Amino acid sequence: MSKYDNAVMIAENVYWVGELMQNDAFQCHAYLIENGDESILIDSGSMLEFENIKKKVSSVTPLKNIKYIIAHHQDPDVCANIPAFEKEIARDDLLIVSHSRNIALIKHYGIKADYYIIEEHNFRLKTKDIELDFITTPYSHAPGAFTSYLKKDKILFSSDIFGAVEESWHFYADENYFSQIKLFHENYMPSQDILNYALFKIQSLDLNLIAPQHGSLIQKEYIDLVIDELKELQCGLYIDGSYKNSLIYKNKLLEEKEHLEHIHAKKLETILDTQEDIIALTTDGEYLKYINRAFFQFSNFQDMEDFREKHKCICELFIEGSDDKYLKLKYDNGYNWIKYLLDNQDKEVYTILKNKKGINTLFKVAIKEFETYNSNNDEYLITFHDVTPYMENLDFIDIISNIQGLYFCISDFDGNLFRMSESLTSVLNITDFENKKYSFFDFLNDDDTKSVKNHLENKDSLPHEIKLRYNGIKIPIMLKEFFGVINQESVVILILTDLTDIKNLEKEAKKKDLVLMQQSKMAQMGEMVNMIAHQWRQPLNAINAASAKILLTKEFGMLDDEELIQSNYFIQDQCQKMSDVIDTFLNYSKTSKESKEFLVEDMIENVLKLVMVQFKNHNIDVVVKDKNSTPVTIKGHSDMLEQVMINLLMNSKDAYDEINYKGKKIIEISLINNKTMTITDYAGGISKENQEKLFTPYFTTKEAGKGTGLGLYMSKRIMNEQFNGDLVYKSIENGSVFYISWSLS
């Protein structure tokens, strides 16, 4: 009996649980991190190994303790047996951990468990006792491939990278391991550039052990040796017949012509040319030694020779901004731009360059001292990161601050603030936000801090009340967290609604009706923020997808000018849609001060603009029927009638949601005549006993916490008092009709 017939401990609470298959050079490994009832199974394998892997896992911990199954990519040798493990584990909270690109294919194995999408969790899995970081290695060998890093034990579960095809298998690698992994990498890695990109990420980690999905485990003494040898390996595209011969021939000519420093520089150029950012290499800021391919894709210059015919340095292209955040060619104190960057590395510094079409583009600039081979001069790598889309997104968010009493902040998942709207810094009297690092928790007491942290950890976007506190200032706030990606970083967008006026009115109100009115307004505020989120989600996702497409095609040298232009037009179109949404919400938020004539048809159109995206997300069709041949004009406050209509539409949506309606969801809006409109749904209707209490305050048919019981009461009062009309309910078969009537005089 071999010792590999049992689970093998490779670190404290970490086990190899794979199967040694006889006469099979393609050994597949599974790993287990024993972590109580949050244990983690890594690359569970195929059905060929299922019974033995199950036996080994069970010898370490009961199967019911497995909460996470990691699938580094979608191949059957990695995850085909997940459905079988699902049945054995039998946990409702079992999560399959992978990248969204893998999940699109993994789901075809018939998996029923929920997915833990790594990019939606900041590429991290955090349990009560351990934490795993996920390092993406795209196209090594799958588009969504990634590796898992257990920092506490310094172990990298590397999936296909460092894998081997070997019949004489050894559990731990020796000094000859590269010869065993060479064949596997030549055939399964797409190219040397892609493999080196992954190795570059991996080599930055502090590693004691690499545990691949094939081959042997690599201990610390051999890790650097194997990585260095893999960096030189020609694989995928590079071993294709004529292409390989062409490369070998060119390399021989290069070796004969260039000395060691030039070869070193070429390797650097290869790495820099794969980067999305513009990266320049300079000595003193007066002469440009090198600039990567991204610059020539951005600018009108064809190549380095074309650039040097006209300029010595990229700084000659800088467009100076209005303040000291922007780089200048020369400074009064004798500094040049390089010296300024070196002395201000803790500040955000920008410059403006014109693109191929002559459009100003904003770049964030960073500097890093760089040691080159056999060079006696100080050299610097300058990175120019295009933040134009990022700043445009922030400008859109800034528009929100034009709505009185609405603020925003942007933070990471630990609460560290990147940005705070000027309206909020003004209210809190903060004058040093740009020069001081603030946390959102600096403005909260212990209870509110606990509440916000809980929302961040659980990605809970439900609105909740907190109070901001700073230098004696206290502001009651309705807070709603949104989670997404800005500038390629996972962020939290905090939308804050100032409740000061409402709270003051509540304290001062002596009449019950005034209190009810303010509570109704608070509910409307929450719905408005929700609508902004729904209206923005689709264009934001489209912009993110278009940006990702540009990045991917550029990385592989497939991005041409036409595709870039079309993508930019598409992004601009989506941005315009977002701007239109803001205009719509700004108009809705303005309370009309005087009664005036308006078209009912225009009011209906405005309401549908506000809610349509949210209703589409719930698969609800809103149909306008029986339009009058002559437009209907009435006099009053149009925003109040909009409020009534929104309340009725949202009630119909909630009714469909509560009964989990499976058929076609329809809401019909009909103008019966010039004095009456109806809103009809088929979501089951309202019981007779509830109909009698329908328009009384604080009565709701919704679940606890989902309704204030004020919407219909206030809507009926608005129609009675503001429009000299009425709001009446009528039950129909499997549905409801609300009649909204008004007076024309």
Question: Which pLDDT belongs to residue 28?
Answer: 83
398-585 and 261-386 share a CATH fold:
yes
Q: Which range (16-25, 213-222, 695-704, 731-740) has the least confidence?
A: 695-704
CA angle 560, 561, 562 (to 5 degrees): 95
CA distances from 313 to 277, 280, 331 (A): 17, 10, 16
SS3 content of the chain, % helix, strand, coil (to 5): 40, 25, 35
Q: How far apart are CA 98 and CA 123, in angstroms?
A: 10
- Which stretch of 21-35, 85-99, 387-401 has the lowest confidence by average pLDDT? 387-401
**Strand 218-219 to strand 620-625: parallel, antiparallel, or no bridges (unpaired)?**
unpaired
Q: How far apart are CA 29 and CA 169, in angstroms?
A: 12
- Give the domain ranges of the chain: 3-237, 261-386, 398-585, 592-741
Amino acid (one-letter) located at 154: K
Q: What are phi and psi of 11, to 5 degrees?
A: -165, 170
DSSP summary character for residue 372: P
Query: What is the average pLDDT value for the chain, to the nearest integer?
Result: 81
Amino acid, single-letter form, for residue 626? D
DSSP bridge pairs for 448: none
pLDDT bin (cut points 50, 70, 90) of residue 551 is confident
Strands lying side by side in the sheet with 473-486: 417-420, 406-411, 489-498, 473-486, 464-470
pLDDT given for residue 405 in this prediction: 76
Residue of 88 and 251 predicted with greater confidence: 88
Token pair for 5: 């017939």
- Return the residue matching tokens 């010296």: 339
* Residue at token pair 């009064």: 332
**Residue 38 vs residue 290, higher pLDDT:** 38
Query: Which pLDDT score, from 0 to 100, does residue 10 have?
Result: 95
In this prediction, residue 50 carries a pLDDT of 93
Q: Convert 304-314 to b/e letters by CB count within 10 Å (16 or more is b).
A: eeebeeeeebb
Read off the pTM. Answer: 0.38
Q: Is 540 a residue whose pLDDT tops 60?
A: yes
Maximal CA-CA distance, the chain: 96
Interatomic CA distance for residues 312 and 329, integer angstroms: 13
**What distance in Å separates the CA atoms of residue 674 and residue 744, rounded to the nearest whole number?**
8
The per-residue pLDDT for range 436-459, each reduced to its tens digit, is 889 999 999 999 999 999 988 888
CA distance 231 to 208: 20
pLDDT band at 708 (very low <50, low <70, confident <90, very high): low
Q: What angle do CA 305, 310, 316 make, to 5 degrees?
A: 115
Question: β-strand 596-599 against 14-16: which pairing, if any?
Answer: unpaired
Using alpha carbons, list the distances in angstroms from residue 561 to 246, 275, 550: 28, 18, 11
Residue 243 has pLDDT above 60, yes or no: no
The CATH number of 398-585, from 3.30.450.20, 3.40.366.10, 3.40.50.2300, 3.30.70.100, is 3.30.450.20
The dihedral through the CA atoms of 600, 605, 609, 613 has a sign that is positive
My answer on whether omega of the bond before 141 falls inside 30° of 0, hence cis, is: yes
Give me the pLDDT at residue 304, please.
86
Among 208-222, 223-237, 329-343, 419-433, the least confident range:
329-343
3-class DSSP state for residue 473? strand
pLDDT (mean) for 343-350: 85
Q: List Cα–Cα distances, 379 to 283, 607, 620, in angstroms.
A: 4, 60, 61
* 119 contacts 99 by C-beta, under 8 angstroms: yes
Q: Determine the 3-state secondary structure of 456 from DSSP.
A: helix
Distance CA 463, CA 526 (A): 7
Confidence of residue 520 (pLDDT cuts 50, 70, 90): low
By the 8 A CB rule, do 496 and 479 touch? yes
Topology annotation, domain 3-237: Metallo-beta-lactamase; Chain A (3.60.15)
The residue written with tokens 């898992």 in the block is: 148
Residue 331 has pLDDT above 90, yes or no: no
The more confidently predicted of residues 339 and 485 is 339
Mapped onto helix, strand or coil, the DSSP state of residue 35 is strand
Kindly indicate the confidence band of residue 385, based on its pLDDT and cuts at 50, 70 and 90: confident
**Which class in CATH covers the domain with range 261-386?**
alpha beta
Q: What is the pLDDT of residues 157-203, one digit of tens each?
A: 999 999 987 665 788 998 888 888 888 888 888 888 889 999 999 99
Highest mean pLDDT (candidates 58-62, 392-396, 434-438, 531-535) = 58-62
| Strand, helix or coil for residue 343 | helix
Residue 640 pLDDT class (50, 70, 90 cuts): confident
What residues form DSSP beta bridges with 468?
475
Q: Residue 10: how many CB atoms within 10 A of its CB? A: 18
pLDDT band at 474 (very low <50, low <70, confident <90, very high): very high
42 vs 564, more confident:
42
pLDDT score at 17: 95
Number of helical (H) and strand (E) elements in the chain, helices listed first: 22, 30
Please give the pLDDT value at position 258. 46
At residue 276's C-alpha, the angle toward residues 274 and 279, to 5°, is 85
Q: Is residue 423 pLDDT above 60, yes or no?
A: yes
CA–CA dist 506, 668 (Å, integer)? 37
- Of 475, 478, 462, nearest to 519 by C-alpha is 478
| DSSP 8-class letter at 77 | H
CA 715 to CA 223: how far, in whole Å?
70
Question: Would the pLDDT of 255 be above 70?
Answer: no
The fold of 592-741 is Heat Shock Protein 90 (3.30.565)
Mean pLDDT of 505-514: 56
Average pLDDT over residues 375-388: 76
**More confident: 558 or 575:** 558
